[in-house]
Copies of this chain bind each other. A is one copy, B any other.
Amino acid sequence: MVVANRYITIKTQMDGEPKESDFELRTLALDISVDPGSNDIIVKNLYVSIDPYQLNRMKSFSSSQKAIGFAAAITPGETIDAYGVAKVVASGNPEFEKDDLVVGLITWGEYSVLKEGSMFRKLDPLGFPLSYQVGILGFSGLTAYGGFFEVCKPKKGEKVFVSAASGSVGNLVGQYAKLFGCYVVGCAGTKEKVALLKEKLGFDDAFNYKEESDLKSTLKKYFPDGIDIYFDNVGAEMLEAAVSNMNTFGRVAVCGVISEYTDAGKRAAPDMLDVIYKRIKIQGFLAADQMLVYSDFLSTTTDHLRTGKLHAIEDISHGLESVPSAFIGLFCGHNTGKKIVKIADE
């Protein structure tokens, strides 16, 4: 059976802020039956993850594009792979059958063809909403968990600062850090987000960075005894201000630099004298390196979810057409928590 598969693509490579007109919805005929002898799996996409890193793949050049497979450049007109949850409609792979749920690299489209060797697995949702697989139980969760525990190596009572703290990863870092016994302050870009952090997610304090004119002084006020751990999702001035306020043997986990993605000229220039004299470690990392702690991450996170100690903050848009605006919104701070697009009902 042939269907008209609709998918989102880019019209051209882009180097500044993404705009709606940079994207288009295309339709391509797709045979959703599988040829005899093929190992392909055809899936109907249900939920897809909307992540800032995709912007670096859409640029005409980014140093990230050569670094690792999933960050390769995106070709205009072609499908865009993204993490998500889908349901099998036809399978030539004996380990999968119709109606199985899968999680892994699908596409910003209605259907995807999963080739043997690409990243996906059968999904047991463990009683949680399917959308959790894209966020808190997916790479956002693993990034937060691995980044905080493995990269930052926290000790109880340490002072933790999280930027973009209401974002997909930041909100989880703050929650894990609180559950672990740290003092946690987050920053976000609206008063509603600040309230969420303090009132629902248990952050010790939070502030709206847009209301602050001197970030160094702001951080000094929130951390009179200094910062031990900075979980960086934004880069630029915030990284400089955090380094300036860090304690001896402080650690910076560099998870994302969203403020630099749309403006390559906007870069952090932290004071290296601080880095030396305070023996600060600045460490970039990817969730892909944290697979060793995956089972710890999953058991800890599901336990905390079941006891209600951890909250899944999701921001779900509906329909394939909403992918471009959902994506663009990431760079304007429109999302609260994990940005997901629900493509179809189960």
Contacts and interface: CB of A to CB of B under 8 A. Distances in A.
Interface of A: 56, 62-64, 67-68, 71, 235, 239, 244, 248, 254-257, 260, 267-286, 289
B278 A272 contact: no
Given A63-B273, A277-B284, A279-B285, 17 more contacts: A63-B271, A63-B274, A64-B274, A64-B276, A67-B278, A255-B276, A260-B272, A267-B269, A268-B269, A272-B284, A276-B286, A278-B284, A280-B283, A280-B284, A281-B281, A281-B282, A282-B283
Q: Max chain B CB contacts within 10 Å: which of A63, A64, A277, A280?
A: A277
Nearest to A253: B276
Q: Max chain B CB contacts within 10 Å: which of A248, A273, A278, A285?
A: A273
Contacts of A244: 63
Given A260-B273, A267-B269, A267-B271, A289 B279 contact: yes
Given A67-B248, A244-B63, A281-B281, A254 B267 contact: no
Contacts of A281: 281-284
Contact of A64 (B277, B284, B286): B277
Contacts of A68: 277
B283 A272 contact: no
Contacts of A267: 269-272
Contact of A272 (B235, B248, B275): B235
29 contacts: A56-B273, A63-B244, A63-B271, A63-B273, A63-B274, A63-B277, A64-B273, A64-B276, A67-B248, A67-B277, A67-B278, A239-B272, A254-B272, A255-B276, A257-B273, A257-B276, A267-B269, A267-B270, A269-B269, A272-B284, A274-B284, A275-B282, A275-B284, A276-B286, A278-B284, A279-B284, A279-B285, A281-B284, A282-B283
A44 B145 CA distance: 57
A103 B280 CA distance: 29
Contacts of A280: 283-284
Contacts of A276: 64, 254-257, 284-286
A225 to B, nearest CB: 14
A256 B260 CA distance: 26
A67 B278 CA distance: 6
